[in-house]
Amino acid sequence: MDQMVPVQRFELAIAGMDCASCVSRVERSLARVAGVERVSVNLATETAHLEARAGTSLADLVAAVARAGYSASLRGPDTALRDGWAFWELVAGAGLCAPLLAGMVWAVPGWVELALAAVVQVWLGARFYVGAAAALRAGAGNMDLLVALGTSAAFGLSVVDFARGAGPLYFESGALVIVLVRLGKFLEARAKRQAAKAITGLRGLRPEAAHVPGRGDVALARLAVGDVIEIRPGERVPVDGVITAGLGSLDESHITGEGLAQPRGVGAGLLAGSLNLDAVLRVRVTSQAGESFLDRMARLIDSAQGSKPQMQVLADRVAAWFVPVVVLISAVTLGGWLLAGAPVGRAVIDAVSTLVIACPCALGLATPAAILAGTGAAARRGILIRNADVIEAATKVSLVVFDKTGTLTLGKPALARVQCLGDVPRDAVMEIAGALAASDTHKLSTALGVTHPLRAEMVKSLPGLGVTGRVAGHDYVLGSAALMARHGFVVPEAEGAATWSYLAAPDGGLLAGFAFADQIRPEAAAALARLRASGKKLMMLSGDREAAAQAAGRTLGIDNVAGGASPEAKIAAIRAAQAQGDIVAMVGDGVNDAAALAAADVGIAIGAAADVAIEAADISLLRADLQLVPDALALSRKTWNVLREGLFWAVIYNVIGIPAAAFGLLSPAVAGAAMAASSVCVLANALRLGRGKHKK
């Protein structure tokens, strides 16, 4: 029998990456470390996500990244401390280049140009030489190599011509390329941080300590489940918990996207990161440090932003060959101009322009920038997307399948009627049913509302059907008509739209029926109308009886309805639709929906869904608002469109720019500016995802 091998997960911050070829090199280097089973490197977040067998050494991973020419460390909180220094370097570079540009209009002594260009080349250009040397040691190329080769060629040619007393000089070309590329990287870094605010913002919501009565402020790592903490007005909730004393209003907008303050009293659950507005609350801790809903949410967003769709995998493979091919094209450009009889200076400058305009950065940033911005924008709206491939699948959805209870309805059924069907009195029936229901999580069980039930033993939950167990020495069955039929009981024909559950004893027959009433969510009709308007087909698969499901379907205008659907029946219906060519999204909230969520092309767990449903889902909606379903699909479509646009323009830019430079249509300075602008434009295009309501 195979044994499960424990898996370690690492998140490494990678410093020094500039382009997609850097990503490929880091991934290859890490993949060769013994024990590493999966690695994904994200250029936009400058992070490596790894899965490795237990015992894999962090030191080995860091050493592997160093051999590739980069540095690595365990990922910590993002910081912008380097921005100030980089800004002043750019200011100094612009000051040094100003006289060089003036030399294109007025006469500037050659030795002044040489001195200024040398400072730029050696000081501001040092990072390109370091990166190029590391790449060459690793047997590969990157953007640093292209810039180092191009600017060195322009500078070297100008030094030779200056020494010979010949002209013209091209000192301004190399210096401007360095400053412009540095400017592009500076703007690119700022845009990356803007796109990554979904994660940094979440991490900033949680305080570092909690007030424990009698102990003072205690670090979160020292809190234990069951501890009681105090949260004062204006403070954020540090960990998940349940209120034991107090009544107040909580702002949960940063977590669930719900704009209105939510009233919370004794017994209500609180989420870490919520803002306590107006009362002193005593809260019992229910989650360990690092395992709150906020922590899990941040990890899920982080994982999604670090994942790659298949399109990016292909782009990375192309990027791995990009630099060698560009160097070859530059050499052909140099040789072609020389063979055509052009002056050496002209041939070198056009070859330099070819090196400088080539931009693997945009190719490497197009996909992760879109994923980063799209998942961040979704998180701010209360939508969690599990990985990048989900975004592609969501754009192709043609059929949206809904569960009924708790999804299309409010999920808070109230007991409307009790019908005794045997000789057992009503009070005794309620006590027995309450005992079984107390051990079950189904909403109908909760709705029985028995305050002091008897104790049930040997309880077994049957997802989608009901529950069995022993009470006071007798076996009982509580659940749907389908469960009764399994045990050989014939239930009365139900009338109306109420949902019925039944209580029976294998040795005593059918004892009682319980009618429950539920309400359609107020936003359901509008959300379904938006889905229809976008061309989606709709279906309802409910575990409720057929008459109740059909009644809800008529109210909502859903024609394709199936009631009495077990978890297996839901899976079969989804697979049948997939076999007919539909791309299926399943929307549900309960344990009985988990299998269907996993079987669908896109599983969407809504609101306060069961943990197993959230784990099975591809998209989790953090508040019970059906309008988030069309929002999620629309935002996925927009993200995918931006991703494709980024890749398209990154490719077109190089397809047009490289030949234009090779044929002498672009100077090195213009080529450098265009190269820097390409990455910034890709990121700026992705940042559009953070704006708008995505209602279409």
CATH number for 385-409+522-622 (one of 1.10.1670.40, 3.40.50.9100, 3.30.70.100, 3.40.50.1000): it is 3.40.50.1000
Mean pLDDT by 10 residues, the chain (696 residues): 62 80 84 89 80 87 88 65 69 84 69 88 87 76 77 83 75 79 74 60 72 88 89 89 90 67 86 86 86 72 63 65 84 92 87 80 73 81 82 93 87 82 88 83 66 79 83 90 88 76 88 86 94 95 82 90 85 93 88 78 76 67 89 93 85 87 84 75 78 50
DSSP of 242-308: EEEE--EEEE-HHHH---S-EEE-TT-EE-TTPEE-S--EEEEE-S-TT-SHHHHHHHHHHHHHH--
**Which H helix or E strand runs over 344?**
helix 344-357
CA 165 to CA 153: how far, in whole Å? 18
Residues 399, 558: Cα–Cα separation, whole Å: 12
Give DSSP secondary structure letters for 111-133.
HHHHHHHHHIIIIITHHHHHHHH
Q: What is the pLDDT of residue 83?
A: 55
Stated as kind and residue range, the H or E segment containing 679 is helix 668-687
| Two structure tokens written together for 533 | 């308007």
53: β partners: 7
The pTM of this model reads: 0.67
Tell me yes or no: is domain 414-517 CATH 3.40.1350.10: no
Distance CA 390, CA 583 (A): 12
Nearest to 25 by CA among 141, 149, 148: 141
Q: Describe the strand order of the beta sheet including 414-420 as a list of residue ranges.
A: 414-420, 509-517, 499-505, 474-479, 466-471, 456-462
Retrieve residue 363's tokens. Answer: 């190719």
Task: Please report, as a single letter, which amino acid is at residue 317.
Answer: R
Backbone angles phi, psi at 285, to 5 degrees: -70, 130
CB 360 within 8 A of CB 178: no
First to last CA, the chain: 52
Q: What is the DSSP letter of 499?
A: E
pLDDT at residue 76 in the model: 59
Rg (CA), the chain: 32
Contact, 38 vs 10, CB < 8 A?
Answer: no
Whole-angstrom distance, CA of residue 154 vs CA of residue 351: 9
d(CA 263, CA 281): 12
Q: Where do you find CATH 3.40.50.1000 in the chain? A: 385-409+522-622
Burial class (CB in 10 A: 0-12, 13-18, 19+), 613: buried
Helix ranges, 358-425 (H): 360-380, 388-395
Rounded distance between C-alpha atoms, residue 425 and residue 670, angstroms: 90
Residue 143 CA to residue 232 CA, distance in Å, equals 52
Sequence-distant (6+) residues with CB within 8 A of 138 are 25, 29, 67, 68, 69
How far is the C-alpha of 514 from the C-alpha of 499, rounded, in Å?
8
Beta bridge partners of 517: 414
Active site residues: 403
Domain with CATH 3.40.1110.10 in the chain: 414-517
Domain with CATH 2.70.150.10 in the chain: 209-291
Q: How many residues does the chain have?
A: 696
- Beta-carbon count within 10 A of 9 CB: 11
- Smallest CA-to-CA distance from 142 within 151, 132, 133 is with 132
Identify the pLDDT of residue 609.
46
Of 167, 174, 170, whose CA–CA distance to 125 is shortest?
174
The CATH number that domain 209-291 falls under is 2.70.150.10
Say how far apart CA 362 and CA 327 lie, in whole Å. 18
Residue 619, class by beta-carbon neighbours within 10 Å (0-12 exposed, 13-18 middle, 19+ buried)? Answer: buried
User: Alpha-carbon distance 26 to 314, whole Å?
Assistant: 16
CATH 3.30.70.100 in the chain is located at 7-74
CATH of 7-74, one of 3.90.850.10, 3.40.50.300, 3.40.50.1820, 3.30.70.100: 3.30.70.100
Contact indicator for 377, 689 with CB cutoff of 8 Å: yes
| Closest CA relative to residue 151, chosen from 178, 116, 185 | 178
Element (H, E) at 143: helix 143-164
Predicted pLDDT at 79? 42
CA distance linking residue 291 with residue 161, whole number of Å: 66
Residue among 162, 184, 70 nearest 112 (CA): 162
Tokens 């050493």 correspond to 63
For 204-225, b/e burial (b = at least 16 CB within 10 A) is ebbbeebbbeeeeeeebeebee
SS3 404: helix
d(CA 150, CA 622): 51
pLDDT of residue 309: 64
211: β partners: 217, 230
State the pLDDT at residue 63: 92
Distances (CA, A) of 562 to 173, 565, 584, 667: 71, 7, 16, 68
What secondary structure does DSSP assign to 459-489, as a single string?
Answer: EEEETTTEEEEEETTEEEEEE-HHHHHHTT-
Say how far apart CA 38 and CA 33 lie, in whole Å.
11
Q: Which residues pair with 384 in a beta bridge?
A: 620
